[in-house]
Amino acid sequence: MKLVISFSARENGNCDQIANHITSTNDKIIYLRNMNIHSCMNCNYECFEGECVYREDAIYRIYNEMCNYDKVIFLVPMYCGNPSSLYFIFHERCQDYFMHNDNYDEIIKRLYIIGIYGNKKDAPDFIPCFEKWFYGSPYSNRVLGIERHLYHQKIADSLLEVEEVKRQIDNWIINVEKE
C-alpha cells in the first residue's frame, strides 16, 4: 500500500495527475493544500522541550500515518526556484515529530520523492534538496526529477500527456514497488 502526498497548491495539476496515475484502490492520496496545517510560526520553540503548539493539526498525524504504508511518495512542484512552500511547511514540522519519535529510519525507509520542475541546468540544487532526507542512510536513488523543459512543456501543460514522461514514471514506480 502506498501513501502519496501532493504538495501542489493547485487541484488536478501535474502533481495531482501523477498521484492519481501511480495509485490504485488500496493506496491513499493526501492533498496537503486541503489540510489544517501550520508552518513554524508564532511559537517559542516549544517542540524542543515539550510539544509543538500546533501538535493537533494534520501534520503530526500524517508523519505517524506514513509508518502504516509500505511506500510513501511525495510529489513536489518547483515554485520560484525552490520546492513549494507546502513542502517546506511539512518538512520543518518534522522537528517536533522526530524530537518525540525515534523512528527516522521507519519513515525514510518508506520514502520516495518526485520533484517536478523546469530543468536541471537552470536549477541544479532542486533535486539535491530532497536528497537531504537520505544523507547518512543506506537508501539511495529515492528521488526522481521530472524536467518539463526537456519536453517543451509549459507551466500549465499536462506532463502525463508526454509518453516518455509516463514511461519514466511507470518504470520508476515498478522499481519502487520492487524494493
**Could you list the residues that contact ligand FMN (CB under 6 A)?**
8, 10, 13-15, 77-81, 116-118, 155
Strands 28-31 and 71-79 turn out to be unpaired
Alpha helices in 48-178 (DSSP H): 58-66, 85-92, 94-100, 104-108, 126-131, 163-178
Least distance to ligand FMN, CB of residue 74, Å: 12
The amino acid at 90: F
Buried b (16+ CB within 10 A) or exposed e, 170-179: eebbeebeee
Instruction: Let me know: does 89 contact 9? Beta carbons within 8 Å.
Output: no
Choose between 32 and 108: whose C-beta lies nearer to ligand FMN: 32
Least distance to ligand FMN, CB of residue 103, Å: 29
Choose between 47 and 76: whose C-beta lies nearer to ligand FMN: 76
Residue closest to 66 by CA, chosen among 1, 7, 22:
1
Choose between 67 and 160: whose C-beta lies nearer to ligand FMN: 160
Least distance to ligand FMN, CB of residue 140, Å: 25
Choose between 79 and 88: whose C-beta lies nearer to ligand FMN: 79
Least distance to ligand FMN, CB of residue 147, Å: 9
